[in-house]
Structure 1
Amino acid sequence: MGAHPAEPHEVSHRQVPHDLLATIELVAGGALKPRDRRLRAGVALGRPLAYALPRAAESPPTGDMTALLLCFPFDLEDMPAGCGYRRIELAVTFEDEHLRALDLQPGPGWVGPDGARVTAFGLGRNRLRWIFQAPDADGTLSPDGRWTQAVLASPAPFTQLSGRIQVRGVIEHPLLSGTRAEGEVQTRDDVPFQLSRADVWAGAPLGPRTSRPGAWALTGVADAAPADDPLPPGRRNLCLAVDIEKYSTRSNADMIRLQRALLRVMRAACERAAVDWDACGRQAQGDGYLLVLPPDTDDTRAVPRLLDGLAEALAAVNREQHGSDSQPQVRTRMRAALHHGIVHEGESGYAGSAVVELFRILDSDPLRAHLADDRATDLVVALHDRMYQDLVAQGYEGLSPVGFVRTEVRVKQFAGVAWIRSHAHAGPAPHDRTRAL
């Protein structure tokens, strides 16, 4: 099909074929120092393919298209021996804010032929994101053709569809020292695309949901297009929120340092819990952070390991920055809260009563007072009563009831019960993979 050509982003001076939207060099997000100075990472973006979807699978498409199937093919460029792609993220943003994604493929949990794991974000929104992750800690993605696709609904018939594509990733490469490191790469600019009605194929063949993309694995989805119901899907997730004590009293330089420390602590907690950081929903809030874990997370294992990971990483940060004899007023100290419930990915963040209750507990006076009163610890945690009853009261490993205090929490319209305790560093922090950025 013929989409209106965007200005090509070329890796070399070769002509961009007609079926390509652009060939892009992925530039380093920092100072990459690979052994091979000729190292280049790149991706070839195919022109988006658009198919009109009928209102019912057995009906022909009507002239007024309000549901489309879009496919975004792309190819990773080959890299020198010893180098590879650890992760690739394809993000698509549509200019029309009224568009809604009804289905994303590959979807969360999909595993490719090369073992790549996929996470997808953006259901119910006009901003979509797919992450392809290498199958294991030492593996890389095969540099071959990949695809993403989405079913889009609009409250009005499509006349023109435009947007932009961004690609980010992490590559692994050897260093001059002979060791290996990872570095972030990304497109220098977003790549624009535009489709008109003439570019849309009519009568797309629909097949079983388990089909490959050529069979358009979306039977019956178009018929369910809730153009008048913008509510994004809700999923049951484990949520972790943290907040830094007395952040607003610090200097500007200290605030930047604390934000970096916070991100490091959160990533380390996920690593300790064997939770894929890239599969989590994340919402930074300056002195705080919200982590929405994947729906298939095993709470019985993840919760104790997340808490241990927070404590270990926090202890490491304070040890490196202040030494073992630092005073509480200069150490980085945190409150943390955990809850589990239905979460929606909203326009400007995560929404749902579980998220609201989580932050009510995190901001509550009892939790703040517990951290202020216990100067021997740098982390206090609170579990919503329902999570405490499901996990701690059931005696799961690593979740002893010792030290937990039942507390009535009243913040604004919220009134409930939380279980609070100090959480001390219990062991050595895990070693991170060397990174060169």
Structure 2
Amino acid sequence: MDTDLPGTPGGAGTAGIDVPDDLLAAAELVPAGPTAPRGGPPGGGVSLARPLVYALPAEGPRPRTALVCFPFDLEEPPDGHGYREVELAVTFDDEDLCALDLRPAPGAGAGGGERVSVFGLGRNRLRWVFRAGAGRAGLRPDGRWTQALVRLPGRFTEVHGRLTLRAVLDHPSPDGDHERAEVRTRDEVPFRLARPDTWLAASLAPAPSEPGTGALAAFREPPTPDGGLPPGQHRLCYAVDIEKYSARDNAGMIRAQRALMRVVKAACAHAGVDWAGCGRQAQGDGYLLVLLPDADVTRAVPRLMAGTAEALAAVNAEGDHGGTPLRMRACFHQGIVHEAESGYAGAAVVELFRILDSGPLRTRLAEERDTDLVTAFSDRLYQDLTPHGYDGLSPAGFERAGISVPAKGFTGTAWIRSHPRAPDRASGRAAAPAGRNPR
């Protein structure tokens, strides 16, 4: 992961671990015409997040189709002002790049009569225009997202382009009425999307309010003609999931996803895990990492566990998590994994998620309010690692739990441990480093 893209400074975590910053740019909105809004800053501002890229399954080793998501947050305008219209424009520099689908779709609506217009299908220049409904309420100044399903030209190594944002601001006039003025970002904001930054699209069907799901549900590549079984390899798998994700509003979900991505990337960096080499599958409220077959499990597991705890503490201390601190479940397992048409398949992946979603793991996180992270090992992984003290790992702190999912015909055993947070999180200060060797 390149954390030093132009205009995208890396973020230093406050818990002794580097947490990559997901911010592409924070831009001021300045007057675009002769009528400037009065009574404060020109028109608030906007935070443009780094675009997210979900690779769709396709024939051959390189994806040719991808879903690109552009999340952004409008800042609160000055008192008495309100957004009547917001337009996000995306230009891909490669003119051969073609948009196959755009979401939100034209005519899509939201609360308060908000409507969306979309332009650029079949082109490399795209625009989404959000318009407020009738009345003075205006657009909500919170998180939004747009997404484009694109056909990638040639060999996909990177895609780059530019973003601009324009808004129509309703502002008070001297006679007590309201006037409207146009504001926009002062400059174009460049972005670059490299292949190592892509996520493999999941075969699951997340809620339609989540970034990157609408077009995925509407478009699928055809299966390979020969229907052959892809190679199976013994892989270490690591999955994480956010507690009570669906209880957040749309903006909260977007921010939680960004924060979770930062946590996972920082944990990989801390563990020395090759981010570009990992298989990655987005789950909406969580992520699946499938490490390379030659990964050193004895080092990767304890260091990913410690890195996740430290990065989560740092993100929660910063407060950019969607209104409610992130609390997470995590699980490790290993076994035979196949890279299938729309995700990773195999009994090892199934067991991993059975444990991650199990009652004992959910209950432990719900009941232990002094922790934001609980981790489970499958029984096989636990027996392979903990008796031998790899990288300081030991059985201390783990508790055995029986896992039973009758509806799925699954029974198994997991070993669960909590990661108590430092006592000063409530004060807004960073948690102390969790240490490299968890015990």
Structure with higher Rg: it is 1
TM-score if structure 2 supplies the norm length? 0.48
